[in-house]
């Protein structure tokens, strides 16, 4: 009897052990299946984002099913709404003291950590998170920078300076690629930088003092070449990678107005990129097709300028000594005076950006967007700068102590927000997935899609 | 006279205890062996997820082909085999298989989409337009 009782107890213990083992195995298998289901749903989400970018929001009406690793993910369209203008925030300590460079699809920050080190951080234009960072040892201060495409990757040329020396660095997310010391400072408050590369891939940077004389530096050897360009322009790398300007010491730039803005675009609609130069008095265009320069300086001060696709094209407003405002726009053979729509005459300052009848830029020190109906929306205020950090059109940035607020491609206006629920089928059983939100922005025939999950910030 | 167990009782009890102890030994062995295998599986699973997460963080697709490397986790050795293959024109499939010995193997799969051909052409155009002098 005792033996039987003991046997029952021991058998119970054995059964418990086997049951526990089985439970652990089942739990592990369930985790494995859940992981693969999650990966398959994430893959399907990428696939749906790709379809939306390629074919537009119309795909929402189709049957959307993606199969991977035995998991079948099906999306159901829940609804469509307005996405609003895309905004974001880069968390950067002491951002006001950092050199910030929007570089194509990312934001690059260079900031001093202590007396001998500088932190270089790369932030994603989509997630706003730091994707890579490294420390660079130098006792010089980062003062300015410009984006560069180096070996196929978006990086930056950063200039560091001390009292009697300078350092030009090319950085990518992989680290410092090249650096060269110069025996005197090269940057002034009016300096403009432009970067490119030679045929053998050597990074080059043109540094001007705003006027028509500049210096081209080889970022590996430091060898300088003097470059000059016509009055009202400045030496710069063109969109095709060639240099605008000629290799000569040129004449004195004394008395020549400083260039305050340089930007490229196909301003005369000939299919070739042109380059525009704005000074305090003139607006000039270098034609990429003819290499000719068209210029407008009707007297007075150039107050605002910009290129508005689908409307006026390249245009500017001059305030005459008598207070009168005159608008000129680029035509086939030069600039001609015109009377713009009301939303042009709101007191724009500096360059504005336009798409159809929507304008964006700066008014009274604030970044604003003006709709075709005249509705003005403030985007950002404070200390601001512009650039491209997400691969689209021009973005606006505002500095604060703890980071940088960003407003992306506002000229393209609001986007569409499509929401989908996901369901996953695996080995005959179905489980519900996440609710996915896709924001779609369109401009100039290009669609940009951003994905987030319901309940999460973009 | 002292009362005791008969020979038959002792024999039956012995057989029962023998059977039970055998079952217990088998259960214990299964538990220990299963536990070890499970730990190996969980390690392999962790490594597979880490590998996929690392690929997800890449800015560009990894090169197509197979890469094999050895890795250790909690003192145990694993083989991580990553296979990257095109799936049509606009997608790549990444298969990560992590194994340890013959009995443990975990596989996870992830697919990435992009206009791959467009990106390639962009690079070629850019290279063709580079500065001709200097």
pLDDT of B25 reads 86
pLDDT of A234 reads 92
User: CA-CA distance, B7 to B18, in Å (whole number)?
Assistant: 16
Q: Are residue A191 and residue A69 in the same domain, yes or no?
A: no
Among A256, A274, A299, give the residue marking a domain's end. A256
Crossing angle of helices A2-55 and B7-57, rounded to 10°: 20
The answer on pLDDT for B131 being more than 50 is no
User: CA-CA distance, B129 to A241, in Å (whole number)?
Assistant: 6
Q: Are residue A159 and residue A196 in the same domain, yes or no?
A: yes
Interface test with A, best of B28, B59, B61, B116 (most A CBs within 10 A): B59
Q: What is the ipTM of this complex?
A: 0.76
Question: Mean pLDDT score of chain A, rounded to an integer?
Answer: 89
The band of B10, judged by pLDDT with boundaries at 50, 70 and 90, is confident
Interface test with B, best of A28, A67, A391 (most B CBs within 10 A): A28
pLDDT of B23 reads 80
Per the domain annotation, does A424 fall within a domain?
Answer: yes
Among A256, A272, A299, give the residue marking a domain's end. A256
Among A203, A229, A256, give the residue marking a domain's end. A256
A443: Cβ–Cβ under 8 A, 6 or more apart, which residues?
Answer: A355, A392, A393, A409, A411, A412
Domains assigned to chain B: 7-133 (3.30.1300.30)
Q: How many domains does chain A have?
A: 2
Matching residue, tokens 């609003």: A84
Q: What is the pLDDT of residues A371-406, one digit of tens each?
A: 777 788 899 988 999 999 988 788 999 998 889 999
The band of A253, judged by pLDDT with boundaries at 50, 70 and 90, is low
Q: Which domain holds residue A15?
A: 2-82+415-453
Question: Mean pLDDT score of chain B, rounded to an integer?
Answer: 78
Considering only CB atoms, which chain A residues are within 8 Å of B129? 240-242
Q: What is the pLDDT of residues B73-120, one digit of tens each?
A: 888 899 999 999 988 888 899 999 999 887 788 999 999 987 544 333
The answer on pLDDT for A431 being more than 80 is yes
A256: Cβ–Cβ under 8 A, 6 or more apart, which residues?
Answer: A211, A212, A231, A232
Q: What is the pLDDT of residues A5-44, one digit of tens each?
A: 877 887 788 788 778 878 888 888 888 899 999 999 999 9
Q: Are residue A111 and residue A250 in the same domain, yes or no?
A: yes
Q: What is the pLDDT of residues A94-105, one digit of tens each?
A: 888 899 999 988
**Nearest CA-CA distance, residue B1 and chain A, Å:** 22
pLDDT of B129 reads 29
Q: Are A196 and B108 a contacting pair at CB < 8 A? A: no
List residues bridging with A176 in a β-sheet. Answer: A171
Considering only CB atoms, which chain A residues are within 8 Å of B20? 6-7, 10-11
Q: Are residue A53 and residue A101 in the same domain, yes or no?
A: no
pLDDT of A319 reads 95
pLDDT of B124 reads 33
Per the domain annotation, does A346 fall within a domain?
Answer: no
Per the domain annotation, does A228 fall within a domain?
Answer: yes
Average of pLDDT values for A196-204?
Answer: 91
If one compares B36 and A207, the residue with the highest pLDDT of the two is A207
Q: Distance from CA of residue A299 to its chain's centroid?
A: 35
Per the domain annotation, does A236 fall within a domain?
Answer: yes
Q: Are residue A120 and residue A149 in the same domain, yes or no?
A: yes
Q: Are residue A153 and residue A236 in the same domain, yes or no?
A: yes
Considering only CB atoms, which chain B residues are within 8 Å of A39? 52, 108-110
Q: Are residue A232 and residue A96 in the same domain, yes or no?
A: yes
Q: What is the pLDDT of residues A271-330, one digit of tens each?
A: 889 999 999 999 999 998 888 999 999 999 999 999 988 788 899 999 999 999 999 999
Q: Are residue A77 and residue A95 in the same domain, yes or no?
A: no
A321 touches A310 (CB < 8 A): no
Q: Are residue A117 and residue A219 in the same domain, yes or no?
A: yes
Angle in degrees, CA A79, B92, A408, rounded to 5: 50
DSSP A14-44: HHHHHHHHHHHHHHHHHHHHHHHHHHHHHHH
């Amino acid at each position: 009897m005792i033996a039987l009782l003991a046997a029952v107890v021991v058998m119970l213990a054995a059964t418990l052990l086997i049951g526990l083992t089985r439970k652990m195995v089942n739990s592990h298998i369930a985790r494995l299946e859940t992981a693969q289901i999650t990966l398959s749903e994430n893959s399907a989400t990428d696939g749906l984002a790709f379809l939306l970018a390629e074919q537009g929001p119309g795909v929402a009406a189709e049957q959307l099913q993606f199969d991977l690793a035995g998991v079948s993910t099906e999306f159901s369209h829940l609804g469509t709404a307005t996405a609003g203008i895309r905004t974001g925030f880069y968390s950067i300590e002491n951002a006001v003291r950092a050199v910030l460079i929007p570089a194509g699809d990312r934001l690059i920050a260079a900031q001093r950590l202590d007396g001998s080190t500088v932190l270089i951080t790369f932030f994603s234009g989509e997630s706003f998170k730091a994707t890579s960072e490294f420390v660079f040892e130098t006792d010089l201060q980062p003062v300015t920078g410009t984006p560069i495409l180096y070996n196929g990757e978006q990086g930056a040329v950063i200039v560091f300076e001390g009292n009697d020396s300078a350092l030009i660095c090319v950085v990518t997310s992989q680290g410092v690629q090249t650096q060269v010391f110069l025996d005197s400072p090269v940057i002034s408050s009016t300096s403009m930088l432009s970067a490119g590369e030679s045929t053998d891939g050597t990074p080059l940077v043109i540094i001007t003092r705003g006027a028509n004389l500049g210096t081209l530096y080889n970022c590996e050897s430091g060898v300088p070449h003097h470059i000059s360009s016509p009055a009202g322009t400045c030496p710069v790398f063109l969109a095709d990678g060639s240099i605008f300007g000629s290799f000569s010491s040129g004449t004195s730039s004394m008395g020549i107005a400083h260039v305050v803005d340089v930007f490229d675009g196909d301003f005369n609609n000939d299919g070739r990129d042109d380059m525009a130069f704005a000074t305090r008095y003139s607006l000039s265009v270098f034609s990429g097709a003819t290499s000719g320069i068209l210029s407008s300086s009707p007297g007075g001060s150039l107050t605002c300028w910009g290129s508005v696709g689908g409307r006026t094209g390249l245009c500017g407003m001059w305030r005459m000594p008598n207070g009168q405002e005159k608008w000129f726009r680029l035509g086939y053979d030069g600039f001609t005076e015109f009377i713009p729509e009301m939303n042009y005459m709101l007191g724009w300052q500096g360059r504005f950006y336009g798409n159809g009848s929507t304008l964006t830029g700066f008014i009274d020190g604030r970044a604003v967007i003006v709709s075709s109906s005249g509705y003005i929306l403030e985007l950002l205020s404070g200390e601001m700068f512009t650039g491209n950090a997400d691969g689209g059109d021009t973005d606006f940035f505002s500095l604060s102590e703890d980071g940088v607020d960003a407003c992306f491609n506002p000229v393209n206006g609001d986007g569409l927000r499509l929401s989908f629920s996901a369901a996953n089928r695996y080995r005959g059983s179905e489980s519900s997935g996440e609710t996915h939100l896709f924001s779609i922005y369109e401009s100039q025939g290009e669609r940009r899609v951003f994905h987030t999950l319901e309940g999460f910030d973009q | 006279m002292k009362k005791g167990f008969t020979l038959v009782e002792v024999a039956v009890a012995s057989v029962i205890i023998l059977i039970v102890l055998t079952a217990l030994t088998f259960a214990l062995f299964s538990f220990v062996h299963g536990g070890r295998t499970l730990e190996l599986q969980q390690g392999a699973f962790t490594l597979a997820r880490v590998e996929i997460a690392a690929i997800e963080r890449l800015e560009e697709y990894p090169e197509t082909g197979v890469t094999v490397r050895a890795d250790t986790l909690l003192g145990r050795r694993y083989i991580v085999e990553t296979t990257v293959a095109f799936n049509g024109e606009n997608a790549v499939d990444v298969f990560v298989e992590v194994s340890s010995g013959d009995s443990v193997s975990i596989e996870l799969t992830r697919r990435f989409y992009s206009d791959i051909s467009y990106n390639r052409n962009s690079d070629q155009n850019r290279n063709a337009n580079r500065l001709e002098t200097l």
